């Protein structure tokens, strides 16, 4: 589900939950468009952040963005994972979840700080630039942490289990029999 679809759904739900007629509407003092616009911008920002956070757990995630360790654990019988492998994969996933929560919280705080810097007049460009770089560093740190967790998880697998994982992911780069075509062309959406 795209961010636009999510926003449209939220706005539709809010519209449907409102009063049925003007007579039922509560009387409120007139407001300016500025606070409403700011609240709407904040809502969009929050929805965007939520979408970014759970992008790796959505349908269509591919490659290093897919929840590979969760897929391994969900298919433990097919992949014939040992109890020790399952325990280690769960440990890796839990450690990544802890790290990702910390990094995401730090990024959100940096975003709030950046908003404050951008609201001043004149804007301190050097401070804003440093904050933008911090936000992006935190975002990339999260992606690197995800990649490391996935590689640690894959390192727990035997070559046969890696082949099964590649087949589950529909990964055309993974090991397959010589002469066999990839399960899907690159760029096609994956379904889990």
What's residue 133's pLDDT? 96
Classify each residue of 62-96 as buried b or exposed e, where b means 16 or more C-beta atoms within 10 Å of its C-beta.
eeebbbbbebbbebeeebebeeebeebbeebbeeb
Look at residues 83, 65, 77 and name the one whose alpha carbon lies nearest to residue 145.
65
What's residue 190's pLDDT? 35
The answer to whether the CB of 89 falls within 8 A of the CB of 175 is no
What's the longest Cα–Cα distance across the chain? 73
Rounded to two decimals, the pTM is 0.55
What's residue 170's pLDDT? 83
What's residue 182's pLDDT? 43
What's residue 60's pLDDT? 40
What's residue 27's pLDDT? 58
**Per-block average pLDDT, block size 10, for the chain (192 residues)?**
64 59 54 62 66 46 65 92 94 94 95 94 93 95 94 94 89 46 38 29
């Amino acid at each position: 589900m795209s961010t636009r679809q999510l926003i449209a759904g939220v706005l539709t739900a809010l519209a449907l939950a409102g009063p049925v007629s003007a007579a039922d509407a509560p009387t409120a003092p007139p407001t300016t468009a500025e606070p409403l616009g700011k609240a709407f911008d904040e809502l969009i920002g929050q929805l965007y952040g939520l979408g970014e956070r759970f992008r790796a757990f959505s349908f269509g995630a591919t490659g290093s963005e897919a929840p590979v360790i969760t897929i391994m654990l969900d298919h433990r019988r097919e992949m014939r994972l040992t109890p020790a492998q399952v325990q280690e994969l769960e440990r890796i996933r839990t450690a990544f979840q802890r790290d990702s929560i910390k990094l995401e919280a730090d990024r959100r705080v940096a975003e709030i700080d950046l908003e404050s810097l951008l609201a001043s007049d004149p804007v301190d460009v050097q401070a804003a630039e440093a904050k933008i770089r911090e936000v992006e560093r935190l975002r990339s740190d999260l992606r690197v942490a995800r990649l490391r967790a996935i590689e640690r998880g894959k390192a727990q697998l035997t070559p046969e289990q890696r082949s099964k994982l590649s087949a589950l992911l529909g990964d055309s780069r993974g090991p397959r029999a010589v002469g066999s075509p990839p399960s899907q062309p690159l760029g096609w959406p994956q379904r889990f």
